[in-house]
Amino acid sequence: MILGFLALFAVINVFNATVQLNLNGYGYVSEFKIFNTSLGSLDVEVYLWTSIVLTFLFFSATIYCIYRGLPTDPVVLEKLGKLEENVAVNQNMLENTQIGFFKKLEDNNNANEEFFRKVSLNLEESRKEALANFAEHKKALDNIDKDNRKNAEIIKRQATEFTDVRKKVEGIESAINGTTAEKAELTSQTKLDRFKGVTPGLATKFDNAGIRNVSELLVADSVSIADKVSESAEAIANLQALAQLLMVPGIDEKHARLLVRFGVTSRRELANQDPVHLYRGVVGIAKTSVEEGKLPASKIPTIEDVSMWIKQARL
């Protein structure tokens, strides 16, 4: 009677464990109480398997007791034998199920360990790659820093050369002004807005480019300045030629333009000219300009004028 009750109680626990497992899933811990007293906690999966095992044990014990109390009937003995065989088969199935469950659990653990191992390897490789990229970027930045230092030295040297050239131009101007009573149209310090060859708009563009006087115009590179003031390099070179010639005493703007049209574009070229050859060329251009109405006849230079220009250019 007691064994039957225990077997029934075990079946109820199997049912209870199955319900909890379906409701809460694997890993749920069930707590057992009698009234308000806790008897402990047990994983619901272990609770299920324990209940199944106890059910079979109590059921087997109950059958065994009933069997011993009954007369030895061959039919009953045969049925009991089959029952024992079923119990053995069920127990074997239970053991196989447990073995499969733990094997699957072990495989999952191994798979997780392999996954984390691969993740660790990938992280290490990523770290090494990041360090290598950082080293390459640092090397590139060092090279850029070296180039910047070299460029700074070049700019400093060019600034020094620019200062030297400006001083030479000022020295030439001083020498000319000191040896003749006649003044030149331009000096190295003449503002570009007072240079008749430079329009007000162009003077503003030159000012924005950092060129404010004749000296700075003469030492500037015509190609780079042309881009900044939206003019052609030829036009800038023409202005530089006019400026050099107008710094020679006795030459005005119209005479300077005649010389440029003849091909004389610097003070040095003027100093190296033959007076007669230069006179013939300039007078021919001047007469053509007079016929075209671009030059008054009074501005045609004489041989004395040309000789004086060459002499002043050589000072």
Tell me: the pLDDT tens digits for 236-284?
A: 999 999 999 999 999 999 999 999 999 999 999 999 999 999 999 999 9
| More confident site: 92 or 30 | 92
* Model pLDDT, residue 171: 55
| More confident site: 176 or 298 | 298
Three-state SS annotation for the chain: CHHHHHHHHHHHHHHHHHHHHHHHCCCCEEEEEECCEEEEEEEHHHHHHHHHHHHHHHHHHHHHHHHHHCCCCHHHHHHHHHHHHHHHHHHHHHHHHHHHHHHHHHHHHHHHHHHHHHHHHHHHHHHHHHHHHHHHHHHHHHHHHHHHHHHHHHHHHHHHHHHHHHHHHHHHHHHHHHHCCCCCCCCCCCEHHHCCCCCHHHHHHHHHCCCCEHHHHHHCCHHHHHHHHCCCHHHHHHHHHHHHHHCCCCCCHHHHHHHHHHCCCCHHHHHCCCHHHHHHHHHHHHHHHHHCCCCCHHHCCCHHHHHHHHHHHHC
Put simply, whether the predicted model's pTM sits higher than 0.85 gets the answer no
Indicate the average pLDDT of the chain.
81
Report percent pLDDT > 70 for the chain: 83
To the nearest 10°, the Cα dihedral for 271, 272, 275, 279? -90
For 136-154, what is the mean pLDDT? 82
